[in-house]
């Protein structure tokens, strides 16, 4: 595993001689993504799923109700199934998941892009799994950072993503005697640079296809409907992203609309569901379709396997003929333009 911290500029090491001037304090930037297992076998999958599904921000059920289900059923069966899904998309060259590969690349490219800013260090961490949020926060502080800008890589805010990522960082700070000052990049679901990056990535991808999709769905990771009813703004922000993207592309609501995927358990989740929508459209005669995932900053199990394989198979089984998954922004030129623009804006007054 490569180091999760990179310097954007070289700084001189101060002399240890008496009277030497102390090196200026540094500013740390921490890209925070959801997380990934360390491997596809049962044990690493079990560890990852246990950490993820034990998060009260993700599963809001009372522990007395949820833990017997988690440890009695979910963690005895789901690691094998999830491991098989990860195995299909695993980066064998680096022996890691694509989410791990792309998040590292984003951090490395961001460090290069910020080479004009002295004393800035860029780190990358996971909410669940490795490199852990605590270890990267500790490394940034030990590298001399007395301020950290955290960047949860979720365009749309949800308590299940952005909030829990920041929670984890503050848990790490609670154990530090000298904790750094913290800022967090806000949701960027309606930022012009983000909408434009999505639009350009769509246009570039569609130009490579031998067909023009009749429908282009924007599929977002779902959350239970009850979370939205309690005040989580995620649903509205997803719809706003799709609206702005549709307007930017000059399409109508028949050509592009939002759906929600990855539901878990028996309760109702945000609708319309991606899989059910795809089946319905195919039954109604839609023969060609493309899907993108604007809620994911990088491609991962939910985009590459769930959409790229499962949903594709469902579309074809229902009568669809041509299907394409549009990649996430990842570490593309468009994607890095979004990250750099947001970071430079939020660093105002610190550099």
List, as residue ranges, the binding site for Fe(2+). 221, 302
User: 335 in helix, strand or coil?
Assistant: helix
> First CA to last CA across the chain, in angstroms?
30
User: 129 in helix, strand or coil?
Assistant: strand
Helices H, strands E: what count in the chain?
12, 9
- Helices 75-89, 42-53: inter-axial angle, 10-degree rounding: 110
242 and 257 Cβ atoms separated by less than 8 Å: yes
- Residue 32 Rama label (left phi>0; alpha psi -120 to 50; beta): beta
Q: Give CA–CA dist 72/116, Å, rounded.
A: 53
∠ at Cα 334 (187, 152), nearest 5°?
Answer: 25
Q: Give CA–CA dist 116/110, Å, rounded.
A: 11
Binding-site positions: 221, 302
275 and 314 Cβ atoms separated by less than 8 Å: yes
């Amino acid at each position: 595993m490569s180091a999760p911290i990179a310097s954007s500029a070289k700084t001189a090491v101060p002399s240890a001689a008496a009277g030497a001037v102390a090196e200026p304090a540094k500013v740390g930037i921490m890209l925070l993504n959801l997380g990934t297992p360390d491997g596809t076998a049962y044990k690493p999958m079990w560890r990852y799923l246990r950490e993820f599904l034990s998060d009260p921000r993700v599963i809001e059920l009372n522990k007395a109700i949820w833990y017997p289900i988690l440890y009695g059923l979910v963690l005895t069966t789901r690691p094998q199934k999830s491991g098989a899904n990860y195995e299909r998309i695993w980066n064998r060259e680096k022996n890691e998941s694509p989410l791990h590969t792309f998040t590292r690349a984003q951090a490395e490219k961001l460090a290069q892009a910020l080479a004009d800013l002295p004393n800035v260090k860029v780190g990358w961490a996971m909410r669940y799994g490795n490199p852990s949020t605590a270890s990267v926060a500790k490394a940034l502080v030990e590298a001399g950072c007395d301020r950290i800008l955290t960047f949860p890589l979720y365009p749309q805010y949800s308590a299940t993503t952005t909030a829990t990522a920041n929670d984890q960082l503050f848990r790490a700070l609670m154990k530090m005697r000298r904790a750094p000052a913290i800022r967090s990049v806000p949701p960027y679901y309606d930022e012009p640079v983000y909408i434009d990056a999505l639009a350009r990535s769509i246009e570039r991808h569609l130009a490579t296809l031998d067909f023009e999709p009749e429908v282009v769905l924007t599929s977002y990771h779902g959350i239970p409907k009850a979370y939205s009813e309690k005040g989580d703004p995620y649903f509205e922000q997803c719809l706003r992203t799709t609206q702005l993207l549709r307007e930017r592309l000059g399409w109508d609501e028949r050509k592009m609309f939002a759906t929600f995927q990855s539901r878990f358990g028996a309760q109702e989740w945000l609708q319309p569901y991606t899989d059910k929508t795809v089946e319905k459209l195919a039954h109604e005669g839609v023969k060609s379709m493309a899907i993108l995932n604007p809620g994911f900053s990088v491609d991962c199990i939910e985009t590459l396997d769930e959409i790229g394989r499962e949903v594709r198979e469902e579309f074809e089984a229902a009568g669809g003929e041509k299907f394409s998954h549009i990649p996430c922004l990842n570490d593309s030129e468009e994607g890095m333009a979004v990250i750099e623009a947001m970071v430079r804006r939020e660093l105002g007054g610190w550099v």
